[in-house]
Amino acid sequence: MWIYRVSSYVLKALSILVLGLLPVYIVLSFFVMMNSGNLFEIFLNISLLFVEIIGFLFGYYLLYTASGAFEFRYKSQIFEFTPEYNPFFTIIIPSHGTSFKTLKITIEGVLAINYPKYEIIVSDNGKDPEVTKNLQKFCIEKKIPFYHKHDTRGFKAGNINAVLTHTKGDLIVILDSDHIPTPDILEKFSKVMSDKNVGYVQAKVRYRNTYRLYQAANSILYSQFYEVFESSKDRRGVVLFNGTTGCFRKNILTEIDGFSEETFIEDIDTSIKILSNGGKGRYIDHIGSTGLVPETAKSQVSQLWRWAHGACHILRIRTRSILSSKLKWAEKLELILNAFAFFSGISIVAFITILCTMIILNIPILRPYVLGLNLAYLMPSLVSLAYLFDAFLAIYWEERTQPVWRRILHLIPFILFSMGAFLYLITGVVEGLLLKNTPLSETSVWNREFHVIRDSLIALIFSINIILIGIWGWSQSGWTFVNNFSSFVIGGAATWLLAPLVLLKEEFFPPSI
What is the per-residue pLDDT for 153? 82
DSSP calls for 229-267: IIHHHHTTTB----SSSEEEEHHHHHHTTSS--SSS-HH
Which residues, in sequence order, are CB contacts of 57 under 8 Å at separation 6+? 19, 22, 337, 340, 344
Question: What 3-state class would DSSP assign to 146?
Answer: strand
Looking at residue 482, what DSSP letter applies?
A: T
Residue 318 DSSP SS3: helix
Alpha helices for 325-371 (secondary structure H): 329-339, 341-360
Q: Per-residue pLDDT for 482 more than 60?
A: no
Q: For the chain, where do the domains classified as CATH 3.90.550.10 start and end?
A: 89-293
Query: What is the pLDDT at residue 443?
Result: 66
Gap between the Cα atoms of 237 and 281, Å rounded: 5
The tens digit of pLDDT for each residue in 141-166 reads: 999 999 998 887 888 999 999 999 99
What's the chain's length in residues? 513
Q: Which of 56, 29, 58, 57 is nearest to 45 (CA)?
A: 29
Tens digits of per-residue pLDDT, 34-67? 988 889 999 999 999 999 999 999 999 999 999 9
- Strand order of the β-sheet with 118-124 is 146-148, 118-124, 89-95, 171-174, 246-249, 200-207, 281-291, 180-181
Does 442 score more than 60 pLDDT?
no
What confidence tier does 82 reach under pLDDT thresholds 50, 70, 90?
A: low
CA atoms within 13 A on the CB side of 335: 34
Q: Mean pLDDT, to the nearest integer, of 73-86? A: 72
CA distances to 45, 355, 513 from 32, in Å: 10, 17, 56
* Residue 404 bridge partners (DSSP): none
Highest CATH level, class, for 89-293: alpha beta
Q: Which residues 6+ apart lie within 8 Å of 503 measured at CB?
A: 297, 298, 301, 452, 456
Helix axis angle, 329-339 to 297-324, nearest 10° = 150
More confident residue, 176 or 79: 176
Q: Per-residue pLDDT averaged across 318-325, rounded?
A: 94
Distance of alpha carbon 226 from alpha carbon 395, whole angstroms: 11
* N-terminal to C-terminal alpha carbon distance within the chain: 43
DSSP line for 441-459 = STT--SS----HHHHHHHH
pLDDT at residue number 351: 93
